[in-house]
Every structure is written in C-alpha cells, then in structure tokens.
Amino acid sequence: MSTTADALDACRALLGGDRVIVTDQARTLAAQDVYRSGALPLAVLRPRSTADVVAIVRTAREARIALHVRGGGMSYTDACTPRDLQSLVLDLRDLNRIRDLSVQDHIVTAEAGGTWAALDEALAPHGLRAKFWGPMSGAVATLGGGFSQGAATFGSARHGSSASTALGFEVVLGDGRVLDTARSASTQRDGFFRPYGPDLTGLFTGDAGALGIKTAVTLQLERRPGTKGSLSFAFDDFRNLRAGVSRLAREGLATEIFGVETALAKLAAGEAALAQDAAALWRVMRAQGSPLAAVRQGWRVARAGRGFLSGSHYLANVLCEARDARRLSQTLADVRGVLAPFGVEVANTMAAVVQSAPFPPPMVVGPQGMRLLPLHVILPHSGVDAFHEAFEVLRNAEQQNLAKHRAHLFVVFAGTGESTLLYEPVIYWHDEWLPLHHETLPESMRSVLQPGAPNLEGRAYVESLRVRLIELMHAHGGAHLQIGRAYPYLRDRSAPFVDLVRALKRATDPDDLVNPGALGL
C-alpha cells in the first residue's frame, strides 16, 4: 500500500464501508480506556469473521500500520490504546458466535468478541458454565480480552484467574497466518486436553494481545450449582482479615472471596445504598430458588439496610455454592467456623447483591462521580502482610497530598486460588470525565453522578502516585493481570527469559505491528 488512504480503501473493499468507521466520536472512544487516552487511530474496523481479521492483518502489514484489538474497553493499563497515529483499532464484538458445545465433554468453543455474560446465558439452559465465568465487568468485557489481559472474579477463589480454564485459542498472527494452539489437525477436533506437549495455549494467556489476535477460545466447563448463598465478615485490622481469608482460601470452601475497606463502602453508600435500592433488592429476591426463599432473603437484606457497614475497618464477602440446600448449609457453617476466630459476621447485603446480579452495568466512575484508577498486585499469602505495611507507610505519608488534590486511596481485595491474594489499591480523584465514561456509565446513574471540573494538577499527581505504587509492587516481587503497558513485566528478568519472550514476539509478529509496546516489547 502506498498510502494509508489506500489501506483504508482496501479495508472498505474487504469489510464494507459501514465497517470502516472514521468518525471523530468512534475514533476518540477507541483511543481510550478507563484511565486515559492514547493516540487517535486512523479508523475503527469491525470484522465479522476470522477471515476478515486475516485480511485486515495482511493489509495493515503491507501498509506498515499498527493494529490494536479492543474488546469491552474496560482496561486501565493502556492495554489496547494506540500509541501512534499510524494505527487501526479492531473492534471484535461482532465475532460473538458459539461455534461448538459439547455437553458430554464439558467443552465450549466461542468467538473471542462475545461477552462473558452472553456466554454464561447461552450455557445456562444446558446446566453448564465456564469454570472461570467472568469478571465483574462481564456484561461488556469480552472473552478475548479476558484471556489476553487476564481476569479474576467469578470462580477465582476456587480456580484462580481466567487463564486456568483455557483449553485452546485460535489466533491470527502478525503475518496473517492462523494458529490453533490445541486443535488436532488429523480430526479438526477443538482442544480438549491442554497439557499435550509444550503448553502453547499458555503462551497466549495474559499476553496483553502482543503475540496475536485471538478470534476464538475453547474453555473448560463445569456443572452449574444447584443452590448458592453468601456470608460477610467484618475485621478490625488487616492482619486478621488476611489471616482469615488465607485460611478460607486453603480450605477451598468459597467460589468467590472479595472485599473492601469499610471507609470506601461508606463513601459509596451515599448514592449506592444497595439495600435501599429497589432494583437491587428485586434482583436479590429474583435470584432465589423459590418464592418463599425470595421473600426470606429480601426481608433479610431490607432489614439489614446498611448494617454491613460496621465499625470495623475491613469487610470480606464470601460467595458459596453447592448441589443442594443441605450441602450449602454445611459449607456456610464451615465458612463461619474458619472466619469466626478472626472477624465478626455482619449483614451480607453487598454479597447478596453481587451474587444475585454478577454482571451489573459497568461503573466506570467512583463515588460522587470521581474518576478512578484501580491498580493491583497478586502476592502469595505469606507476602501480603509485608506489602500492606509498606503500602500503609506510603499512604500515610501522602495524606496531605491526597487532600490537596482532592484524591482518595483505598484498598480492595479478592481471592485468587489457594495460594495467592489479589491486593488492589484504588485511587479516586475529582476530575472531568472522558468520553468513554459518558458513553459507558449506566443511564440510571448519570442523573445521580456528575463529572468534576478539569483538574490537571490532580491528574498529574495521580499519575505520579500510580508510578510509585507500581514500583512498590515490583519491589515486593508481585505478579499482575492486565499487564498492558503499565506493569514492568520484563524488568529484572533473567537474560534467557527476556530473550525467549522477545524471540516469541518476533516469531508471532515479525513486523511488531500487533499491539506494539504491550508487555514492554
């Protein structure tokens, strides 16, 4: 291609003019994630098939144009934002079919642009779901994004992150070839046994989209539970919280463990008011298995009100599942036995709402309409206390600066398997919204939450605080999901490690055109 205009014309011939979108609004949205904006792309492309993606890759390669793949856009690590003007953004949301489902084998192959919520809905009539079945943003987050960036929430306390459930990927490489990481060529059978030789599927989990463009994923499924319930516990200090959650994780009793500092929950309660929100209460009641159970649970939540916001400093929510009510009752009793030495049981308002509506509309702004920046580090249980102490030293030293810039810094956490905990500092600050925030925020909240005035100094402070927090995480040897361009994946690695990763990038994307810069490559 002699010019970018020629490349765009070629894409129009391939896809149709309505699938090559060059409006300022579409390009602006495609250049943003939850945190900030990247470079404005030349266009947004909406392929409908793997063949379309192959054709786009070959066209872009000839014209030397970078390609960035966008799913739900819920990243906050520059994971898919363009870094220069010579780029195209691929919106894969029209690749959303389920290609194959084996109820007998508990395996599904689905296209990468479908959402986690849509997949879960499609599997429900068969009594199945994915072992990891989605992040909290699963109403808009896509399967491809969840495996490229890494995701945690639903199923994570038992199975870990999204990566643990992948059996195979269909990937369009940077030279236009199509790789299936697990399919048997002799039978064209989709992946069904991941550890067959070197784990090529594993190479593409958490790759931040740097090694190729995922167009389909094959996942391991499990039976849906017959019944479910939840508990919440309050803790006076972090050490008790961590000790209780660590023990609970090792027991394998919960499917999800997550929680917050109660100071953050109290700040959000002004507009969230979970128990007083009729829609949330209705979802809780509707999720129960029978009319009598619905009335009972609805009454408990309504009576508890905001009682879950106890005087303690931390709140942990535990979601449990079982085949029947008897097993669930025993599981909940076991959870109480594990956590009682460390904390106090409180009303399970927050847990009940999350369990009843696991994929709510995404809240891309925080309390009072503040901007938000979630960061996170994954640590072994044995390393969490030391990190928390170092974090508290930093936070205490920053109190004056936080107040000066109208910013807040809170802690959120989640269980990620038996051995690790996800520790998530979240920065909130008053600032104007990006177009993505206006576009994504649920309409019901737009009249309640309002953007702030432009706050350039506050924005600069948040960026400096982001860098310091990531450095602290790196100093403690933490791991990360959603690596994108934010976390120092290659720093302090051995020379053989770095050489192998760079060689892999050259082999899969020889011209460095697929999400350049991701993973630090």
Tell me the per-residue pLDDT of 69-119, one tens digit each, with 9 for 90 and over.
999 999 999 999 998 889 999 999 999 999 999 999 999 999 999 999 999
pLDDT tens sequence across 408-448:
999 999 999 999 999 999 999 999 999 999 999 988 888 78
CA 35 vs CA 38, 136, 465, 476: distances in Å:
10, 17, 14, 24
What is the token pair recorded at 191? Answer: 């992946």
CA 483 vs CA 33, 48, 362, 406: distances in Å:
14, 27, 21, 28
Q: What pLDDT does 448 receive?
A: 83
pLDDT tens sequence across 197-229:
999 999 999 999 999 999 999 999 999 999 999
From the number of C-beta atoms within 10 Å of its C-beta (0-12, 13-18, 19+), residue 18 rates as: exposed
Q: Which domains does the chain have, with CATH numbers?
A: 4-93 (3.30.43.10), 98-223 (3.30.465.10), 227-356 (3.30.70.3450), 367-475 (3.30.70)
pLDDT category at 188 given cuts 50, 70, 90 is: confident
Average pLDDT rounded to a whole number, residues 483-510: 97
pLDDT tens sequence across 260-312:
998 888 787 654 444 444 454 444 434 444 444 444 444 444 445 555 556 78
Are the CB atoms for 350 and 314 separated by under 8 Å?
Answer: no
Q: Which H helix or E strand runs over 102?
A: strand 98-102
CA atoms of 135 and 138, how far apart (whole Å): 5
Among 411, 401, 400, residue whose Cα is nearest residue 464: 401
87-91, strands of its sheet edge to edge:
20-21, 43-45, 87-91, 66-70
Average pLDDT rounded to a whole number, residues 147-161: 94
pLDDT category at 400 given cuts 50, 70, 90 is: very high
Q: Which H helix or E strand runs over 202?
A: helix 200-203
CA atoms of 501 and 413, how far apart (whole Å): 30
What is the token pair recorded at 348? Answer: 């399970």
What is the token pair recorded at 132? Answer: 């990891």
Q: Tell me phi and psi for residue 15, to 5 degrees.
A: -105, -25
Torsion of CA 301, 307, 312, 316, to 10 degrees: 10
Q: What pLDDT does 265 receive?
A: 81
